[in-house]
Amino acid sequence: MFHRFANPARFLRFAAVIQPWIAGLTVLLFAVGLYLGLLASPADYQQGETVRMMYVHVPSAWMALFCYTGMAISCGVALIWKHPLADLAAKATAPVGASFTFLALVTGSLWGKPMWGAWWVWDARLTSMLVLFFLYLGYMALNNAFDDPGRGSKASSILALVGFVNVPIIKFSVDWWNTLHQPASVVKMGGPAIHASILSPLLVMGVAFTTYYLWVLLIRIRREVTANKVRALQMRQASRGEQ
């Protein structure tokens, strides 16, 4: 399975078949999730209608971490087995993951203003997400920094793996840092467990975000494969022109 789809042509055929299904599933899940989240679920007794921000905020935060994990795994696979598609998958994931991180930060900020009274708090979660955003930016910058695209993808793969080691460290350290400076000033999800009427739309939205990611990933990988083909053809044409 794993090495079967190392062949880009085979992968492209496979992707062409499943892409419309994933697209349909994404649209359906978003429709259900948004209906449940925005209309069918109750408003929070304390936070009122703003609690609905959660249905976008929490899934995008999940996806931000999920994408980085996926990217790091792809980078490892690309470095170890020189799997051609893993490289493309990591490259295709980075901007999507960065967008999810950005979305999580922006929605969190919009949610924070009415709830905490501030757009930004130097809380553990916020800080670690910001660092994650910088790691994505560093990955993308390094990927584009070389004239030879092969060099860029290798260098950035190493960076993604190094950054992955750092993610749990960052999480722990800012927890520490936070308890020392401003303990328990932040609304936490602990305490009462989430009620099913709020949990189920959240889970539907989480799955919808995941299928959306897969959909975009397929589009981006197909685009990368095509771009590589175009580049190869151009190179061949250029070398033929020289002779």
Partner 1 sequence: MNGFLAIVRRDLRLAFRQGLDSLMVVAFFVIAVVLFPFGVGPQPNTLARIAPGVIWVAALLASMLSLERLFQTDYEDGSLELLALQPVALEITVMAKVTVHWLTTGLPLIVAAPLLGVLMNLPEDGYMPLMIALTLGTPTLSLIGAIGAALILGSRRGGILLSLLVLPLYIPVLIFGVSAVDVVIGGFSAKPQLLILSGLLVGALPLCPWAGAAAVRQGLE
Give me the residues that bind partner 1 (CB under 8 A), please.
79, 131, 134-135, 137-138, 141-142, 145-147, 151, 154-156, 158-159, 161-163, 165-166, 169-170, 173-174, 176-177, 180
Q: Which is nearer to partner 1, 31 or 141 (CB)?
A: 141
Q: Which is nearer to partner 1, 21 or 177 (CB)?
A: 177
Q: How far is the CB of 140 from partner 1 (least distance, A)?
A: 10
Q: How far is the CB of 146 from partner 1 (least distance, A)?
A: 5
Q: Which is nearer to partner 1, 135 or 221 (CB)?
A: 135
Q: Which is nearer to partner 1, 7 or 185 (CB)?
A: 185
CA 195 to CA 52: how far, in whole Å?
14
How far is residue 40 from each of residues 60, 83, 95, 208, 243, measured CA to CA in Å? Answer: 21, 45, 33, 17, 69
Q: How far is the CB of 181 from partner 1 (least distance, A)?
A: 8
Q: How far is the CB of 171 from partner 1 (least distance, A)?
A: 10
112-130 burial code (b ≥16 CB/10 A, e <16): beebeeeeebebbbbbbbb
Q: Which is nearer to partner 1, 107 or 143 (CB)?
A: 143
Beta-carbon contacts of 6 under 8 Å, excluding residues fewer than 6 positions away, are 83, 84, 85
**Helical (H) or strand (E) element with 183:** none
Q: How far is the CB of 78 from partner 1 (least distance, A)?
A: 12
Beta-carbon contacts of 210 under 8 Å, excluding residues fewer than 6 positions away, are 63, 66
Residue 138, token pair as written in the block: 């560093």
